[in-house]
Amino acid sequence: MIEIKDLHKSYKMGSNTLHVLKGINFNVKEGELVAIMGSSGSGKSTLLNILGMLDVADSGEYRLDGIHIKNLNETKAANYRNKFLGFIFQSFNLINYKTALENVALPLYYQRVGRKERQEKALKYLEHVGLKEWSHHLPSELSGGQKQRVAIARAMVAEPKVLLADELTGALDSTTSYEVMGLIQKINDQGNTILVVTHEDDIAHMCKRIVYLRDGVIVEDKEIEQVRASEYVQ
Amino acid sequence: MRFFFDKNTWQEIFGSIGKNRTRTIITVIGVLWGIFIYIALAGASKGLDNGFERNFETVAKNSLWAWSQRTSIPYAGYKIGRSLRLRVGDAQVLRNRIPDIEYIAPINTKGVFGGEGAQVVRNLTSNNYPVYGYVPEIAKMATQKIYDNGRFINEEDTENIRKVCVIGERVQQELFEKDEEPVGQFIRIDGVYFQVVGVHKFTRTTPFGTDGDIYIPFVTFRNLYNTGDNAQFFTIAAYDDADVVQVEKDVKRVLKGIHRVHPDDERAFGSFNLGEIFSRIMGFARGITFLSLIVGLATILAGVIGIGNILLISVKERTKELGIRRALGATPNEVRSQILLESVFLTMLAGIIGIILGAGVLSIINKMTEDNTDFPYTNPTVPIPLVIGALLVMVVLGTLIGLIPAQRAVSIKPIDALREE
């Protein structure tokens, strides 16, 4: 589903250049649930942004569902984001004057889906995340966990190839975090490919594979069973 | 087109407007004020225009008056300061020599230019009123409004030297009882009985008319006051397409020839050119219309710039939201169109409210001034094409000004927009 070869990314910080990604190589198969872990500044969010076509790599190769993602103009990038990707953000990023239903329906609007169909689908996905009864509430009337569930429904409603979650439990308490991750696992069980950026071990351990980043390079890439086995040995 | 009719698009616009309600209202007032000023000024200038038209409607706008004075240059053996007298026969000469003259009428008066008016008596009531000796042609130049089954002086009155008169409203009020029919009654003018044939409403048929004027046939006036062949002045109406200023010059030139006056003697004959005054007034009214157009458009422009300003701030505040939308698949064009539509919507909304308010105020002013005939203001209207034109200008300006915040909205990378707090 995702193929990355020798990905590099630098940022200019005044007169200095900050080399954030230093040759990332990594593949994700369809239906995988991958955690990208690393400490602050390791480059995990930058990697996720490049995967989400919100940012562009300086060099290297990125293929998404067989399509070579390179030199995209903003319109094409927007269309690809809409068609292939669903985003879940740490701060939920819901539009505060829209109801839960309207927020969830928004990606479909940009797919030119008719209003009735948009609402039906949005309601279906809100039901998936257990928030059908809250569909007409504004984000300000929802708890953190509920907001993140709405964000998950919004990420899924357009039925993307890949879900990208950036610290999706970062703003939630531990109980709610597990609930949300349980939902993510459930979605993954239905065959969706999901990448979760996190710095929390227990969240990463709820994924099927963990990729560790340090100083812009992948230092470890293991299936969860391997991770558990090595932890057991230690 | 889908974009314009989608509920989400309008939700977005109303959401944005609702979030910054106070600032939006203040900004809308900016444009609203602009179009209101434009409509009020354009309507007021049209009202002024109509008012002048109304004040001049009772008299031919291409008319002039000419009278004789004293010479100021000696000529052909005559000394300076010779007193000139117009003769009735001059009228025919003028008509023959100046083809642009449509009507010419000699007029004699008593009590109009100084001196006492005629003593008019009815029963035990008497008063002094100005008396005019009129020919029937006057009616063609100045539309007298006769009422109470009355009429104006006609050809038969002239031919038969009838002792008939048309009295003014004030004369009627002062000499007759309130419910008394004056037409057919007799009044005594300077000792001679005249039958009232009509009552005229006061209309400014000459620059010196009043509602106390009494009109009698020119020939009857001649016999009553023994004016012989003399005429105090001529009232002249030129054809509609004639140059009245040139007619005025020609009249003086011909009169100088008839009365052997030096061609350069400017004081020998006096004149009052209503046509020229009218065109100056109408020119002034046109100037006011033009000025109101410029001021109105400038005010609209200022208001539209205000809308551009609020949208710039709004885009800055909504940077993160726009980032979210773009992450969810909004193309730059969709974001741009949304901001533009907001600009156009606000401009249109303000414009329509401004037009309604402007029309309301004009209607109130019209109601307040419609009974005041002395005030040159009536029926203030703004032509529909001008209103539509103003709306179009607003939409175009709103679109152009909206392009600035719209461009700013799409110039930010989605990733930077998402980082914005």
Which residues of A are less than 8 Å from B3 in CB distance? none
Position B16 pLDDT exceeds 80:
no
Number of A/B CB contacts below 8 angstroms equals 70
Inside any domain, residue A17: no
Report how many domains make up chain A. 1
**pLDDT of res. A140:** 92
What are A's interface residues with B at a Cβ cutoff of 8 A? 49, 52, 54-55, 74-75, 78-79, 81-83, 87, 89, 93-95, 97-98, 102, 105-107, 109-112, 115, 154, 158
Kindly give, in sequence order, each residue whose CB lies less than 8 Å from that of residue A44, ignoring residues fewer than 6 positions away: A36, A37, A38, A197, A199, A213
Q: Which residue of B has its CA nearest to A105?
A: B8
Position B133 pLDDT exceeds 60:
yes
Position B96 pLDDT exceeds 90:
yes
**pLDDT of res. B206:** 58
Distance in angstroms between the alpha carbons of the first and the last residue of chain A: 33
Residues shown for chain B? 421
Q: What residues make up the domain containing A198?
A: 29-56+73-233
Contact B2 A83 (CB under 8 A): no
Q: Nearest-CA distance from A81 to chain B in Å?
A: 6
| Whole-number average pLDDT of chain B | 84
Rounded Cα–Cα distance for residues B236 and B259 (Å) = 19
**pLDDT of res. B165:** 94
Rounded Cα–Cα distance for residues B151 and B197 (Å) = 6
Average pLDDT of the segment spanning B125-146: 81
Inside any domain, residue A43: yes
Inside any domain, residue A183: yes
Which residues of B are less than 8 Å from A87 in CB distance? 327-328
Fill in the amino acid letter for B211.
D
Position B20 pLDDT exceeds 70:
no
**Which of A176-190, B95-109, B195-209, B338-352 has the least mean pLDDT?**
B195-209
Contact B329 A79 (CB under 8 A): yes
Chain A touched by B330 (CB under 8 Å): yes
CATH number, domain with residue A226:
3.40.50.300
Nearest CB to B8; choose among A78, A109, A158: A109
If pLDDT is split at 50, 70 and 90, which confidence band does B176 have?
very high
A14: left (phi over 0), alpha (psi -120 to 50) or beta: left
Rounded Cα–Cα distance for residues B13 and B144 (Å) = 61
**Which of B26-40, B71-85, B222-236 has the least mean pLDDT?**
B26-40
**pLDDT of res. A122:** 93
Does residue B196 or residue B402 have the better pLDDT?
A: B196
**Which of A74-83, B163-172, B174-183, B412-421 has the least mean pLDDT?**
B412-421
Residue-wise pLDDT for B32-70, tens only, equals 888 888 888 888 888 887 877 776 666 666 788 899 999
Chain A touched by B2 (CB under 8 Å): yes
Nearest CB to A82; choose among B320, B328, B332: B328
Which residues of B are less than 8 Å from A98 in CB distance? 11, 15
**pLDDT of res. B307:** 75
Residue-wise pLDDT for B352-389, tens only, equals 888 888 888 888 888 887 776 666 677 777 788 888 88
**pLDDT of res. B257:** 93
**pLDDT of res. A44:** 86
Rounded Cα–Cα distance for residues B71 and B83 (Å) = 7
Question: One digit per residue, pLDDT tens: chain A, 234 residues?
Answer: 889 999 899 988 888 888 888 888 989 998 899 999 988 888 888 888 888 888 888 888 888 888 888 877 888 888 888 888 888 888 888 988 889 999 999 888 888 888 889 999 999 989 888 888 999 999 999 988 889 889 888 988 888 888 898 888 877 788 888 888 888 888 888 888 999 998 888 888 889 899 999 988 888 888 888 877 777 776
Q: Quick check: ipTM above 0.90?
A: no
Pairing of β B86-87 and β B101-110: unpaired
**pLDDT of res. A91:** 82
Which residues of A are less than 8 Å from B6 in CB distance? 109, 115
Q: Nearest-CA distance from B12 to chain A in Å?
A: 9
